[in-house]
Chain A
Amino acid sequence: MIMRDSPAIEAIDLTKVYGQGNTEVVAMRNASMTVRHGEVVALLGPSGSGKSTFLTAVGLINPPTSGQIHIGGHFVLDGSHARTNLTAFRRRHVGFVFQKSNLIPFLNARENVQIALELNDASPRAARRRALELLDNLGVQDRSEHLPTMLSGGQQQRVAVARALANQPSILLADEPTAALDSVTGRQVMELFARVAHEHGTGVIVVTHDQRALSVFDTIYEMEDGVLSRQLKETVV
């Protein structure tokens, strides 16, 4: 169970070292962040600064070398040591959206959402109904039977968001979700994140380069050379 009084995400002193010896790269150094339920966080920073490393660590697909991760009050990761079944936990509590190719190419829009629900033991019938609801909610219901290749970039991202939200996760992680979109569509997708965060109490972290859409975020972090720091929203926007 997710406890709403504890933070959605609490990342403490995350450090990630890739490789060893000569090829050693410290991609992230003592990064800490707390995200409340319903809070929308932007993560800025130049390319190669460690943003994706941080996001995938929090998303439990790329464990840090050291540090702790709590999600919804659960202590799930201590360094690289899992304190719970990460696949199961991810399925239940974490939603992802990436820059592109978020969707399974051989499933249509509805099925892409539906599969996330079915993997979480929903009956095909209920999953189908909920998938259509989600697509409707995100404004792509008329595209529900189209394969991903038949959708525009913005529509694909909306379907990806629908899938990420399918199991009502406690956190939603997006890595440059609007980089492949035009600015208008990009802004719409960003507003979508803000909306779901506020409607569902989801903790959202969005990695972005897009300075123009920052007004939708509650909090802004910046990463530079693996070091994470909180920014004052007024100074950035």
Chain B
Amino acid sequence: MNLALKDIQHNLGRFVLTTIGVGMLLMVVMGMAGIYRGVVEDATLLIDRIGADLWIVQHDTRGPFAEVSRVPTSLVHRARAVPGVTDSREFVYHTIQREREGKPFRLAVLGLSWPDDKGNWIPLVAGRPLAQNHFEMIADVSLGVRLGERLTLGKETYRVVGITRNMIGSGGDGIAFFTAADAEAIQFDASGEAVRLERSARTNRGLRSELVTKQPALIEQASKPSGELPAIARLQISAVMVRVAHGTSAAQVATTISGWSDVSVHTREEQAEFLLKGSVDKARRQLGLFRVLLTLIAAIIMALILYTLTLEKIHSIALLQLIGARKPVILGLILQQALLLGFGGYAIAYLLGQQMFPLFPRRVIVTGDDLLQLAVIVLAISVASSILGIWKALLVQPNEALG
């Protein structure tokens, strides 16, 4: 006869409620680990999928995913001239927040270098890659847009032609893919008034300059779009992605490029590293701290309930001793209840998590390793939390049954 089960049966309602409570706590502990895994997975997935061997970024910066990076467009051509490089592309990446249906709408804008890159590498769950160099976009499903939907960003309207899944920027926002030109247009969108003011300021500066006094016809240039003016710096891109030839070592090419003093170069691994050690690491530590706290709370709640259950059983324990129960019988009674509580909670956490985690705004990835680790933690807190009850039970003398 199992005394632990019999006692639980007798206190079923309370035991079940406590188990559910512990289970929900453990689910959050499980979820915390899963959220971290999701963040890491999302971060590395993007870098892996893009598949660049080297990233050329603004000098002394850590790349477009970690911080703002600006390099001139011409860098694409410089990079292509390096021996061993088969392909180099512009990379435009920035995060914007607009409004959609009255709610904040955040998206990470990623520019593809049309026409070399139409987004064929992007795993689509619906639709197609980009087919024209303007006004089309591929959006992550987490952005909540529909295939065929038209979105106005800046002055232009873009049509959603493809849908991806799990393409998430380091900030946790879904990624939308545009051509690089569109991505820049979205980023550097200026209002008509701002453009007019800029052009008139340019004209005024021109009128005061010696150059215009000598060549009055030049002043007409001032009211042209800035992109057509040789004297004005071209729009800049975030980084240049480089692919090296088969059989060439990326490190070797990186050494060559690192000789250029105006930019820095990072390998794919370094790029991933920066992400994980940077913003993701902070998230990890924060989630880790919460996990520890919640685990402690779960342990304290378990200890309290086990202690209470033991206090209520003092008379029964004395009776059991009186009729000759050995100490292990009494210890087993409390320990088994602790383990039932712990692993009952664990099972609830797992089942509940499977239902709840898909509803989370960010990906929650529960790995086998994490499940095993949590099982060990649950085992440890079950044993630890039963110590108080066991200690109390061992102090019980059989003659206390006389009362």
Contact = CB atoms under 8 A, between A and B. Distances in A.
Does chain A bind chain B? yes
Interface of A: 52, 56, 61-62, 87-88, 90-92, 96, 98, 101-107, 111, 114-116, 118-120, 124, 127, 147, 163, 175
B359 interface: no
B402 A56 contact: yes
A102 B7 CA distance: 16
B324 A91 contact: yes
Interface string B317-336: 00111111110010000000
Given A102-B319, A119-B323, A61 B399 contact: yes
Chain B contact residues: over half helix, strand or loop, or mixed?
Answer: helix
Contacts of A116: 323-324
B37 interface: no
B403 A101 contact: yes
A106 B7 contact: yes
Contacts of B1: 107, 111, 114-115, 118, 124, 127
Given A106-B7, A118-B1, A163 B324 contact: no
B326 to A, nearest CB: 6
Given A98-B401, A104-B319, A88 B6 contact: no
Contacts of B398: 61, 90
Most A CB contacts (10 A, CB to CB) among B11, B316, B323, B397 go to: B323
Contacts of B319: 102-104
A119 B401 CA distance: 17
B329 A90 contact: no
A147 B401 CA distance: 18
B22 to A, nearest CB: 21
Contacts of B397: 61
Given A106-B10, A124-B1, A96 B316 contact: no
Contacts, number: 67
28 contacts: A56-B399, A56-B402, A61-B322, A61-B397, A61-B398, A87-B321, A87-B326, A88-B324, A91-B324, A96-B323, A98-B402, A104-B316, A106-B10, A106-B11, A106-B316, A107-B1, A114-B1, A115-B1, A115-B3, A115-B323, A116-B323, A118-B1, A119-B323, A119-B329, A124-B1, A127-B1, A147-B10, A163-B323
B128 interface: no
B319 to A, nearest CB: 6
Nearest to B327: A87
Given A111-B1, A114-B1, A175 B324 contact: no
B329 A96 contact: no
Given A114-B1, A119-B329, 8 more contacts: A52-B402, A103-B319, A104-B320, A105-B10, A105-B316, A106-B7, A107-B3, A119-B326
B402 A175 contact: yes
B363 interface: no
A98 B400 CA distance: 12
Nearest to B323: A116
Given A101-B315, A105-B316, A118-B1, A92 B323 contact: no
A87 B324 contact: yes
B324 A90 contact: yes
Interface string B1-14: 10100110111000
7 pairs of A and B residues whose beta carbons are closest in the complex: A91-B324, A106-B10, A61-B398, A61-B399, A106-B7, A104-B316, A116-B323
